[in-house]
Amino acid sequence: MSSHPRPVVLITGGAKRVGAAIARLLHAEGYDLAIHYRSSALAAEHLKRELEATRPDSVLLWQGELGALETLPQLVETVLSRYGRLDGLVNNASGFYPTPFGEVTPAHWDELFASNAKGPFFLAQAAAPALKASRGAILNIVDLYAKHPLPRYPVYSMAKATLAMLTKVLALELGPEVRCNGIAPGAILWPEDGKPYAAQQKLIDATALKRVGEPADIARAALFLLRDAPFVSGQILPVDGGRGLTA
């Protein structure tokens, strides 16, 4: 039994955007964190300093590629060496870019499935013994487009559909000790490439609440599913303002 006094959650892609919002809320609610990032080193260091200003030595950073599957057990071991426990895994990291049909390459397929499906599977497999020991939980950040494919994004949509099925598979395989659920965000944040997103207003108009959401909306749902839903497993919660009603 670990003597570490606080629960510990590992968040992939946790340095920016939705991942950082989840990290901030969990930290404020008493969790210590392991934050994985790929290329956002400055953002990760800034977030670590911000959070540790309120609770020293409460954040571990790990840089790596989720597609480098051989490193994922080492990531889990590093968390356990630091904290002695792991109570939650948030598979948030996600590649996202268009792959129009007819132009898809094997490299596109491999990259998008690595972050959105393959990495989460093998990271969950590596983390499973520790999560069973803590009777912890896994949370997968899925997407509305796992269910309703996004035009020009076939590989991304298929990868997220795999992650949605993985949510159900892990709930069955790891129960009763470990719960696994997912969140399917709607319009929360637009891509960071600076290009106008032609479908923005169309998406907003098709949403029952007629507005975009905020990263905090996903973070609150994440806290609920990780901590406050002990009899919920294998479910994917839409947090989309009602977008899924007309998708």
Whole-number pLDDT of residue 247: 63
Mean pLDDT of the chain: 94
- Which residue is catalytic, options 31, 37, 83, 156? 156
pLDDT for 47: 98
Residue 197: the pLDDT is: 56
* Per-residue pLDDT, 200: 74
The 10s digit of each residue's pLDDT in 79-132 is 999 999 999 999 999 999 999 999 999 999 999 999 999 999 999 999 999 999
What confidence score (pLDDT) does residue 137 get? Answer: 98
Share of the chain above pLDDT 90, in %: 84
The answer to whether domain 8-245 has CATH 1.10.150.120 is: no
- Express each pLDDT in 40-91 by its tens digit: 999 999 999 999 999 999 999 999 999 999 999 999 999 999 999 999 999 9
For the chain, domain boundaries: 8-245
- Residue 243 has a pLDDT of 85
Q: What is the mean pLDDT of residues 192-213?
A: 73
- The more confidently predicted of residues 240 and 75 is 75
Instruction: Judge whether 156 counts as a catalytic residue.
Output: yes
How are the residues of the chain apportioned to helix, strand and coil, as percentages rounded to the nearest 5? 45, 15, 40
Q: What is the mean pLDDT of residues 164-176?
A: 98
Segments of 87-132 assigned E as strands: 88-91
Q: Is the pLDDT of residue 195 over 70?
A: no
For residues 245 and 206, what is the distance between their CA atoms, to the nearest angstrom? 9
* pLDDT at residue 214 in the model: 93
Q: Which residues contact 161 (CB under 8 A, 6 or more apart)?
A: 146, 147
Between CA 195 and CA 197 the distance in angstroms is 6
